[in-house]
């Protein structure tokens, strides 16, 4: 009898709690997309009828006249923002109330390698860590790494040169992932790696496991992000334990070897070691001298906390390396892949870009420098348009820490209080595909970012790297990495469609089978 009573009480609690969650936006007076119990609005994704990109765009389009609407992710109420002024307010003016990502809550205690990295860190720790890492991503530091980056891209070029064919047919996403792995291994971990020749390297295997979104990894990360109480209850971590142990040992051995042999190298590990010693200078503000639209400016968070910098542990350093790997192994290869995809189907754009590349090489006697690469206007236009049309950020999230009042501005709106704990989504890709902000959004048109048209662009509608103080710290490095490989590739090859290429009709290509293209030697 007691067990039956307990079961009834438990079921009643679950039903009442779920009902309370699913009526949250109704009680707030916010228009919302009708959810299902426990599943929320995620049924099309779970059934495989829509991928995440299509799913979020569909939610964004449900209430085109609203500044915001309510949605549910597995029963969790989410406020989806549509209005650019409101988005800017959340990113900048209300940053104190929205400083963190939802996965930041208690992450440092529950999952040290995730909670200690810049993306997941929260509060003062995030601010100190951001200030600590900023000097690594300045113009001067990036310039100092350019020679190293130039050497890394040669691995890819050498691999292509060895192919005995006039037209080399390749799956481009896999090709660029190998390039990105070599890039990360060198600049983040100080390892000279050639993924094109040594695919069985343990570093590569661990990297694949770290970044895999299939199987158990997908389930674990989905549960991890749904609710901090669920991940604590199940003792979940963002990354597999064996991957964390491998990279911790790798960092520890690297630090010991460099210390014993007095070795210094221009990479992330060395930078953090020097920071721990207190020998790194404050970041200098050099963003204003650059004209690249695709690079976001760094926010000024004030002077760096010297004490925090000198207290960096080996686990802190490992966490930043994992963050570098986790983010860089997807975003940059995806950018290069979609850029190549568009160039293959738009030969007139590819030829115009190649002309700029040829002229740049001729100008400098067959050599490329940081200054020349970052001054190439049409290359930046092509990359910017790729980021616009194929933003790797489907949505950007924040969690509310302090109550924020949104006063009504449009007919039918009521005063909305965003309560602490509320998650907000900024649907970056949906905004990039909104004809209200971008005329003919499905058209790939680099001329949107020409000197003549750039002034017409609403920069608030370009969210490829987020916004406000918590924008992507590595945008400059990621853009440079993409531009460098595109520069060399188009100098020697023409990207052409083959019988295995995608048709270009599908808005959101998810399968690697769509990215088979030919590289025709010039």
Query: Which residues make up each annotated binding site?
Result: 472
Residue 480's φ and ψ, nearest 5 degrees, are -65, -40
Give the alpha-carbon dihedral of 287, 292, 298, 300, to 10 degrees.
40
- Label residues 24-45 b or e (16+ Cβ within 10 Å = b): bbeebebebbebeeeebbbeeb
The two three-digit tokens of residue 317, written as one number: 């350093």
The two three-digit tokens of residue 139, written as one number: 């113009």
What CA–CA distances, in Å, run from 231 to 219, 222, 237? 12, 10, 7
Task: State the Cα–Cα distance between residues 488 and 160, nearest whole angstrom.
Answer: 11
Task: State the Cα–Cα distance between residues 144 and 351, nearest whole angstrom.
Answer: 31
Q: How many C-beta atoms lie closer than 10 Å to residue 216's C-beta?
A: 9
Could you write out the DSSP letters of every residue in 146-157?
Answer: HHHHHHHHHHHH
The two three-digit tokens of residue 92, written as one number: 């900048």
Task: State the Cα–Cα distance between residues 246 and 308, nearest whole angstrom.
Answer: 26
Task: State the Cα–Cα distance between residues 182 and 233, nearest whole angstrom.
Answer: 37
Q: Which residue has the tokens 């090489």?
A: 361
**Which class for 262: exposed (0-12), middle (13-18), buried (19 or more C-beta within 10 A)?**
exposed
Nearest CA among 134, 112, 509, 492 for reference residue 305 = 134
The number of residues making up the chain comes to: 522
Check if the beta carbon of residue 75 is closer than 8 Å to that of residue 37.
yes
The two three-digit tokens of residue 75, written as one number: 């029963």
Q: How many C-beta atoms lie closer than 10 Å to residue 289's C-beta?
A: 8
The two three-digit tokens of residue 65, written as one number: 């006249």
The binding site for heme comprises 472
Check if the beta carbon of residue 357 is closer than 8 Å to that of residue 491.
yes
Check if the beta carbon of residue 339 is closer than 8 Å to that of residue 385.
no
Check if the beta carbon of residue 263 is closer than 8 Å to that of residue 257.
yes
C-alpha 195 chain-centroid distance: 22
Q: Which residues pair with 520 in a beta bridge?
A: 167, 494
Q: Which helix or strand (DSSP H or E) is residue 63 part of?
A: none
């Amino acid at each position: 009898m007691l067990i039956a009573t307990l079961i009834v009480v438990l079921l009643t609690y679950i039903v009442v709690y779920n009902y309370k969650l699913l009526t949250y936006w109704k009680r707030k007076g916010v228009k919302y997309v009708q959810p299902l119990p426990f599943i929320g609005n995620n049924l099309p994704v779970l059934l495989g009828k829509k991928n995440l990109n299509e799913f979020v765009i569909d939610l964004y389009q449900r209430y085109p006249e609203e500044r915001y609407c309510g949605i549910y992710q597995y029963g969790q109420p989410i406020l989806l923002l549509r209005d650019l002024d409101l988005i800017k307010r959340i990113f900048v003016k209300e940053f104190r109330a929205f400083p963190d990502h939802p996965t930041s809550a208690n992450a440092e205690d529950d999952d040290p390698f995730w909670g200690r990295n810049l993306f997941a860190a929260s509060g003062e720790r995030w601010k100190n860590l951001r200030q600590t890492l900023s000097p690594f991503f300045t113009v001067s530091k990036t310039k100092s790494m350019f020679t190293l980056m130039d050497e890394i891209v040669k691995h890819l070029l050498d691999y292509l040169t060895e192919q005995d064919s006039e037209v080399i047919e390749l799956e481009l996403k896999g090709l660029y992932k190998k390039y990105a792995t070599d890039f990360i291994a060198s600049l983040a971990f100080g390892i000279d790696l050639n993924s094109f020749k040594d695919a069985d390297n343990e570093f590569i295997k661990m990297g694949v496991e770290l970044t895999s979104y299939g199987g158990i990894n997908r389930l674990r990360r989905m549960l991890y992000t749904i609710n901090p109480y669920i991940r604590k209850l199940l003792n979940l971590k963002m990354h597999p334990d064996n991957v964390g142990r491998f990279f911790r040992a790798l960092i520890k051995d690297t630090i010991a070897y460099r210390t014993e042999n007095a070795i210094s190298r221009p990479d992330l590990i060395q930078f953090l070691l020097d920071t721990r010693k207190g020998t790194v200078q404050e970041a200098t503000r050099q963003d204003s001298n650059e004209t690249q639209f695709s690079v976001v400016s760094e926010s000024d968070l004030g002077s760096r906390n010297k004490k925090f910098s000198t207290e960096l542990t080996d686990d802190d350093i490992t966490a930043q390396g994992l963050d570098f790997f986790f983010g860089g192994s997807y975003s940059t290869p995806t950018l290069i892949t979609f850029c190549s995809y568009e160039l293959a189907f738009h030969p007139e754009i590819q030829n115009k870009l190649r002309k700029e590349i040829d002229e740049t090489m001729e100008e400098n006697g067959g050599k490329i420098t940081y200054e020349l690469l970052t001054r190439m206007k049409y290359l930046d236009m092509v990359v910017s348009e790729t980021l616009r049309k194929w933003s790797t950020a489907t949505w950007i999230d924040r969690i509310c820490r302090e109550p924020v009042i949104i006063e009504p501005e449009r007919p039918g709106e009521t005063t909305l209080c965003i309560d602490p704990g509320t998650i907000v989504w900024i649907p970056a890709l949906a905004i990039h595909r909104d004809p209200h902000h971008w005329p003919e959004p499905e058209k790939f048109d680099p001329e949107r970012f020409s000197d003549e048209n750039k002034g017409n662009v609403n920069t608030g509608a370009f969210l490829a790297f987020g916004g406000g103080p918590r924008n992507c710290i590595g945008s400059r490095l990621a853009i440079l990495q993409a531009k460098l490989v595109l520069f060399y590739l188009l100098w020697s090859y023409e990207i052409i469609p083959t019988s295995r290429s995608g048709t270009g009709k599908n808005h959101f290509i998810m399968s690697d089978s769509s990215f088979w293209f030919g590289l025709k030697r010039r």
